[in-house]
């Protein structure tokens, strides 16, 4: 069964916050989504929940009018990526991530043709530094240079947007221009625990640095009151964009 993709509303500030459902089971995820209610409109499902019933749960959310970002970071031979992307588009997802390799990006763009799915490219994983790239077999290249090169390739291949740290958003924006989306994790409301995120910024800083959407998981899903946490972040985004 194909579901239509729920459209992002430019006038609805809630769509700027993507709530990361980094949660082990559908039951727990459903409970969090229910508690958040109308305060949250956009949810991200990554490996953990996707492989624990999360695809069916994505359909459930889309059926309720929510937007879903499937953070699957696809990378395979072109034929497989294209077919996989076609299936994700039928699910009615709004965003899907792929690794920013040219073959993979070309195949993803072909797979989503004729649908409203948007493809986001992950340039270089933020856990990789220059030494990790050498260990992975790359000739010495800085992570920053590789991010820039891949952002340019994503733009040239008509990818819809880039996932990057807010601290990289300005340099990525200069490469991809005003019409591509920039989606940034590593966001922490003032006073929140950084967890394992190193280059964190507040929601207001993320928006000021040029992010179109912010991804926030633990500060919301682990909060005593997830709905209040969502409302506080949406308020901060609204004040920054006003």
Residues 6+ apart with CB under 8 A from 108: 74, 81, 82, 85, 96, 98, 119, 159
Q: Report the alpha-carbon distance of residue 241 to residue 219 in Å, rounded.
A: 21
Q: Bridge-partner residues for 118, per DSSP?
A: 95
Nearer to ligand C5P, 111 or 185 (CB): 185
Is residue 206 part of the contact set for ligand C5P (CB under 6 A)? Answer: no
Crossing angle of helices 143-156 and 102-111, rounded to 10°: 30
| 111 is an interface residue for ligand C5P by CB under 6 A | no
Least separation in angstroms between residue 85's CB and ligand C5P is 19
Residue with smaller CB distance to ligand C5P, 82 or 204 = 204
Q: How far is the CB of 158 from ligand C5P (least distance, A)?
A: 22
Which positions from 176 to 205 touch ligand C5P by CB under 6 A, shown as an x/- string?
---------xx--------x-x--------
**Least Cβ distance, residue 200 to ligand C5P (angstroms):** 8
18 or 82: whose CB is closer to ligand C5P? 18
Residue from 20, 54, 92, 161 binding ligand C5P (CB under 6 A) = 20
Burial of residue 60, with CB atoms counted within 10 A of its CB: 0-12 exposed, 13-18 middle, 19 or more buried: middle
* Least distance to ligand C5P, CB of residue 215, Å: 5
Measured between alpha carbons, how far is residue 68 from residues 32, 61, 73, 126 in Å? 15, 7, 15, 22
Packing angle, helices 78-91 and 55-63, rounded to 10: 40
Is 230 a binding residue for ligand C5P by CB under 6 A? The answer is: no
Q: Which is nearer to ligand C5P, 45 or 62 (CB)?
A: 45
Taking the complex as a whole, the smallest distance from the CB of residue 11 to ligand C5P amounts, in Å, to 25
Stretch (H or E) spanning 70 = strand 67-74
CB nearer to ligand C5P: pick between 107 and 183? 183
Distance CA 184, CA 192 (A): 17
Classify 66 as helix, strand or coil: coil
Region binding ligand C5P by CB under 6 A among candidate stretches 8-16, 78-86, 213-221, 234-242: 213-221
Place of tokens 């209610």: 37
Footprint of ligand C5P (CB under 6 A): 20, 22, 46, 126, 163, 185-186, 195, 197, 215-218
């Amino acid at each position: 069964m194909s579901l239509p993709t729920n459209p992002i509303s430019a006038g609805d500030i809630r769509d700027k916050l993507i709530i990361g459902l980094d949660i082990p089971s559908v039951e727990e995820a459903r409970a969090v989504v229910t508690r958040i209610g109308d305060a949250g409109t956009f949810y991200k499902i990554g490996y953990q929940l996707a492989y624990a019933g999360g695809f069916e749960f994505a359909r459930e959310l889309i059926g309720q009018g929510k937007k879903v970002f499937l953070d699957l970071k696809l990378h395979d031979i072109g034929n497989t990526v294209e077919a996989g992307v076609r299936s994700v588009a039928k699910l009615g997802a709004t965003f899907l991530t792929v690794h920013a390799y040219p073959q993979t990006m070309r195949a993803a763009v072909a797979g989503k043709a004729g649908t409203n799915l948007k493809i986001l490219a992950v340039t270089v994983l933020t856990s990789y530094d220059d030494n990790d790239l050498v260990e992975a077999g790359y000739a010495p290249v800085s992570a920053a240079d590789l991010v820039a090169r891949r952002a340019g390739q994503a733009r040239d291949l008509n990818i819809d947007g880039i996932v990057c740290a807010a601290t990289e958003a300005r340099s990525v924006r200069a490469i991809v221009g005003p019409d591509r989306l920039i989606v940034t994790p590593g966001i922490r409301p003032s006073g929140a625990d950084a967890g394992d995120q190193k280059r964190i910024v507040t929601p207001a800083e993320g928006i000021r640095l040029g992010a179109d959407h912010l991804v926030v998981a633990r500060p919301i899903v682990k909060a005593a009151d997830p709905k209040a946490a969502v409302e506080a972040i949406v308020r901060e985004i609204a004040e920054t964009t006003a």
